[in-house]
Amino acid sequence: MYNPDFKPLEFEGFRKQAGLNSFLLSPKQWIEKTNAIGIVSKSGRYGGTYAHKDIAFEFASWISIEFKLYVTKEFQRLKDEESDRLQLNWNLQRTISKINYKIHTDAIKESLIPTEITRLQATMVYASEADLLNVALFGITAKQWRDVHPDEKGNLRDKASLEQLIVLSNLESINALLVSQGLSQHDRLVQLNKVAIVQMKSLLGNRAISGLNQIDK
């Protein structure tokens, strides 16, 4: 997702060898062979292996069930604090259900796919990058959503589906790259909207997303 220069063929070679008694792979080999990012390995007196927190959390969860449970409990605690602060209702079951969101009908599926932005939307100046992403994916700004739903608790993104949240996360990364390239807000909005349409169509047709760890209710 974050490393366009990752070498998948090298990774495939490692994957095929994994599990063999003779297989050894050091962090340094992994970095050099696959062009991996997010992890650094240094030798010497003050050396060691350092990883981005996303990688570190995943690794720690793999080797320690206690740590994984701690992360889960900590997530719940933070959500409790957030719900108290924003006066929102939440529970773990509801969150898991959202993660396991399943598209039931083609009509619902079609309604989640973003429409192409209008010429007027493309020429407007948006006060924040968050609203730029909202328009690219949802077709409206946070204020416009609030005006239509004055009695709803939470905000536009709280009502998003799993697929929309995944695409939104991708758009944030892509937008940062486009900003660094010096693209205007207009050009970024047009490109982000096109990406959102393509990715939503892809995700809505992906059974692995819609059927993740289904939980009996």
Q: Give the per-residue pLDDT at 107.
A: 40
CB of 36 within 8 A of CB of 30?
Answer: yes
- pLDDT in the model for residue 83: 76
Q: Is 102 left (phi over 0), alpha (psi -120 to 50) or beta?
A: beta
Q: Nearest 5°: CA angle at 196, between 192 and 201?
A: 155
| Better-predicted residue by pLDDT, 208 or 34 | 34
When pLDDT is cut at 50, 70 and 90, the band that residue 114 belongs to is: confident
pLDDT at residue number 91: 60
**Both structure tokens of 119:** 């010429």
Total-model pTM: 0.46
- The phi and psi torsions of 39 (rounded to 5 degrees) equal -145, 135
Q: What is the pLDDT of residues 180-198, one digit of tens each?
A: 888 888 999 999 999 999 8
- For residue 100, what pLDDT band results from cuts at 50, 70 and 90? very low
Which pairs count as long-range contacts for 199-206, CB under 8 Å and 24+ apart, including other chains? 199/166, 199/167, 199/170, 200/112, 200/113, 200/114, 200/137, 200/163, 200/164, 200/167, 201/113, 203/163, 203/166, 203/167, 204/103, 204/109, 204/112, 204/113, 204/163
Q: In this prediction, what percent of the chain has a pLDDT beyond 70?
A: 82
Label the pairing between strands 39-42 and 48-51: antiparallel
β-pair partners for 48: 42
Residues 6+ apart with CB under 8 A from 86: 153, 154
Give Cα 99 distance to the centre of its chain: 12
24-54 confidence digits (pLDDT tens):
888 999 999 999 999 999 888 888 899 999 8
Q: Is the dihedral of CA 127, 129, 131, 132 positive or negative?
A: positive
Q: Could you give the CA distance from residue 188 to residue 178 in angstroms, rounded to a whole number?
A: 7
